[in-house]
């Protein structure tokens, strides 16, 4: 990679890491600077230090993968250090010496592999000659050269691989002193190992082994003879100095802000951080070892870590945008049997906020769900179901609820959906369900049309009203209110307080009150004092309560004026449990009767579309020589009914052995265990099963049946 430009480095990283263009570009420039530094005059080179990098972003966006692929691309010595290693033994953890020592070992192994590959041909020739000497001892009489050539040909053809020979090999030194190689005691461990290696030098012993195994052992020995070990170490040291990369993952585990402990700080964790800060300055300015760190808790990092000279370049690795999500989906669906009705661009559009790990999990869940249902092609139906699984969890159809609870949930979810549909700045509603999923008793799936970078006050107020829609529906249409709105109220309260204290969108003015938005950090938040008066605190509480009441009143006004529609929505949900697509749109637009009039046509058109997609998939596979060889044309007179899954490839050949979850059963698959509430009309009765068993027993005991005790 030393000859690659930043643009070329990014192009190579694109093969393995999708999206994150800015992050990859900044990392490439930082690494490229090391190559530029090597070509500076020596007196100027010492004044130019490499830039350390810290990547900040949510989990699952590819921070670790960027560092790993960068090291593989560059051929640089690379070591990954978990930050927790620093704290395994009190505050005495990994130091610069131990990290560089480990990096040096990796560099030596890397260079040794390259050198062994360079002398591979010569080593193979020498090993072959030694092996022939073992197979043909000096005491052999007759035409030695002719016999040796015959043995050489037999060996090269593999005819002698199973023959045993006795080879003199070097015994590996004992590793019993690794107990000293613990954090903070690496130097002692090295000294002890050196002492024992001098006291007990490696021994030579004779062992019997297969010819092929002996050949590989001899190649290693001959390679060691052909490679200059001192030059190898010097080359490895130079590579470590000029190209070494140390990657510290989850650095927030050791780099948390000092002075935030409950006792005022100066605990063991802070001592570890102090040690790390000092030792980061211990990297000499005349080497180019680059430190790359990653964290998803940038808000708790100590400012001393981020100053110039330590982690100079702060790179934000954020969640992918819609184009990035589509490319990631294309990567993870490449080796899966994807149906022609699966629109990856549409999936990318309805998955805002998904990370690369989430999208990989989505496609994996789709494949597993397809296999559990006994299908052979991943369709859009499985992808949609898997997306809801990733968001809210699997369906829990087995949860027992009485009619009153179902009635409350139906009105609760109808309240969320209707308020969200009638407000201009709320996210569109795609699905309403009263089926339990994860910890939710029911859910309303609202997905924004596009990625949001900023949220306006109007959007947040509409969202607050949507949050309150469930509780208001219980107040109006149910006998009592329940705890089902607890999560809604929690999210609404947090947003309302943020409007007042963080965003400056209240009559209190454009001022931030308290600490900026961050995850709770007990020591810091517990020790900080309130930076505003008690009067201001009272006014903040009043404004938050005012915003919450306004949202409540807006939701109340909407639902009260649409009582008939709410009754209809609740009744439909109690009957069907789930509405989505055109049914959901018709229900929200209060055009349910019109939808029912054409529902059969809609369902028939959808089934025809799915059947056409399955037929297209079968034709594509048949064109590739993977069809089932059927000659009948679907739909032709006298032809067998077309199998929409014919010619498809199983997503998982072991799907029959996978455990079956409630709701995963395909009603067209009688070989799978049906769900508790599945239609068992086609299943045979117990009497029919007993009759069939008796019939088979009679056949086995008849005169025509073979006698198991008879011997030929």
Residue 167 token pair: 């080879």
- Order of all β-strands in the sheet with 429-433: 443-446, 429-433, 578-580
With contact defined as beta carbons under 8 Å apart, do 350 and 387 qualify?
Answer: yes
Residues 107 and 117: their CA atoms lie apart, in Å, by: 15
H helices within 46-95, ranges in order? 63-74
Extended beta strands in 132-250, E state: 164-170, 204-210, 245-249
Q: Using alpha carbons, select from 612, 579, 607, 582 the residue that is nearest to residue 594.
A: 582
Q: Which helix or strand (DSSP H or E) is residue 432 part of?
A: strand 429-433
Identify the active-site residue in 413, 463, 474, 543.
413
413 carries an active-site annotation: yes
Residue 343 token pair: 């629109």
Where on the phi/psi map is residue 324: left (φ > 0), alpha (ψ -120 to 50), or beta?
Answer: alpha
DSSP 644: T
With contact defined as beta carbons under 8 Å apart, do 50 and 32 qualify?
Answer: no
Residue whose pair of structure tokens reads 């690379």 in the numeric block: 78
Residue 584 token pair: 């959901």
DSSP 301: B
Torsion of CA 690, 691, 693, 694, to 10 degrees: 120
Residues 377 and 370: their CA atoms lie apart, in Å, by: 7
Half-sphere exposure of 567 (CA within 13 A, CB side): 5
Please list the active-site residues.
Answer: 413
């Amino acid at each position: 990679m030393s000859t690659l430009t930043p643009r070329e480095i990014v192009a190579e990283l694109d093969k393995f890491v999708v999206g994150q263009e800015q992050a990859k570009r900044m990392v490439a420039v930082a690494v490229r600077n090391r190559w530029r530094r090597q070509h500076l005059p020596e007196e100027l080179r010492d004044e130019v230090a490499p830039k350390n990098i810290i990547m900040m972003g949510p989990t699952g966006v590819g921070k670790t993968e960027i560092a790993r692929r960068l090291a593989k691309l560059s051929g640089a010595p690379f070591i990954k250090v978990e930050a927790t290693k620093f704290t395994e033994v009190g505050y005495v953890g990994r130091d610069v010496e131990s990290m560089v020592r480990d990096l040096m070992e990796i560099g030596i192994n890397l260079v040794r592999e390259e050198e062994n590959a360079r002398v591979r041909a010569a080593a193979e020739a020498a090993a072959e000659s030694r092996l022939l000497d073992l197979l043909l001892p000096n005491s052999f009489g007759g035409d030695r050269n002719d016999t040796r050539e015959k043995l050489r040909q037999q060996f090269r053809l593999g005819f002698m691989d199973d023959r045993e020979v006795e080879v003199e090999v070097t015994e590996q030194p004992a590793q019993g002193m690794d107990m000293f190689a613990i954090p903070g005691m690496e130097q002692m461990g090295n000294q002890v190992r050196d002492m024992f290696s001098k006291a007990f030098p490696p021994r030579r012993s004779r062992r019997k082994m297969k010819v092929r195994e002996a050949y590989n052992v001899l190649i290693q020995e001959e390679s060691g003879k052909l490679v200059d070990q001192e030059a190898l170490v010097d080359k490895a040291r130079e590579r470590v100095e000029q190209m070494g990369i140390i990657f510290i993952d989850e650095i927030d585990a050791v780099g948390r802000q000092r002075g935030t402990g409950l006792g005022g700080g100066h605990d063991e964790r802070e001592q570890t951080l102090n040690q790390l800060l000092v030792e980061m300055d211990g990297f000499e300015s005349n080497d180019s070892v680059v430190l790359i760190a990653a964290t998803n808790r940038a808000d708790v990092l100590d400012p001393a870590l981020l100053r110039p000279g330590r982690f100079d370049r702060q790179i934000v690795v954020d969640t992918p945008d819609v184009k990035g999500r589509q490319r990631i989906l294309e990567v993870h669906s490449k080796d899966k049997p994807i149906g022609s009705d699966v629109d990856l661009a549409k999936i990318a559009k309805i998955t805002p906020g998904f990370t690369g790990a989430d999208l990989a999990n989505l496609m994996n869940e789709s494949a597993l769900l397809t296999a559990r249902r006994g299908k052979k092609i991943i369709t859009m139906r499985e992808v949609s179901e898997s997306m809801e699984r990733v968001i809210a969890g699997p369906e829990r159809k087995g949860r027992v609820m009485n009619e009153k609870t179902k009635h409350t949930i139906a009105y609760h979810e109808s309240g969320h959906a209707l308020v969200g549909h009638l407000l201009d700045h709320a996210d569109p509603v795609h699905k309403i369900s009263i089926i339990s999923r994860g910890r939710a008793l029911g859910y309303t799936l609202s997905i924004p049309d596009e990625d949001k970078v900023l949220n306006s006050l109007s959007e947040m107020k509409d969202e607050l009203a949507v949050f309150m829609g469930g509780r208001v529906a219980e107040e109006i249409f149910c006998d009592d209110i329940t705890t089902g709105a607890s999560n809604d109220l929690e999210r609404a309260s947090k947003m309302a307080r943020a409007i007042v204290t963080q965003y400056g969108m209240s009559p209190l003015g454009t001022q931030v009150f308290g600490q900026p938005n961050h995850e709770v950090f007990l020591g810091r938040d517990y020790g900080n004092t309130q930076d505003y008066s008690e009067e201001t605190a009272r006014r903040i509480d009043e404004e938050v309560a005012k915003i919450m009441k306004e949202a409540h009143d807006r939701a109340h006004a909407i639902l009260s004026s649409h009582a008939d529609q709410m009754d209809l929505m609740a009744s439909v949900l109690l009957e069907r449990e789930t509405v989505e697509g055109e049914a959901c749109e018709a229900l929200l637009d209060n055009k349910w009767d019109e939808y029912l009039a054409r529902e059969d046509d809609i369902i028939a058109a959808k089934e025809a579309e799915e059947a056409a997609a399955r037929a297209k998939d079968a034709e594509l596979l048949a064109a590739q020589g993977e069809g089932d060889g059927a000659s009948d044309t679907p739909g032709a007179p006298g032809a067998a009914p077309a199998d929409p899954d014919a010619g498809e490839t199983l997503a998982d050949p072991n799907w029959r052995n996978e455990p079956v979850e409630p709701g995963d059963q395909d009603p067209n698959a009688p070989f799978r265990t049906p769900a508790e509430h599945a239609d068992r009309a086609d299943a045979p009765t117990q009497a029919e099963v007993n009759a069939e068993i008796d019939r088979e027993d009679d056949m086995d005991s008849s005169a025509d049946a073979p006698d198991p005790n008879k011997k030929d």
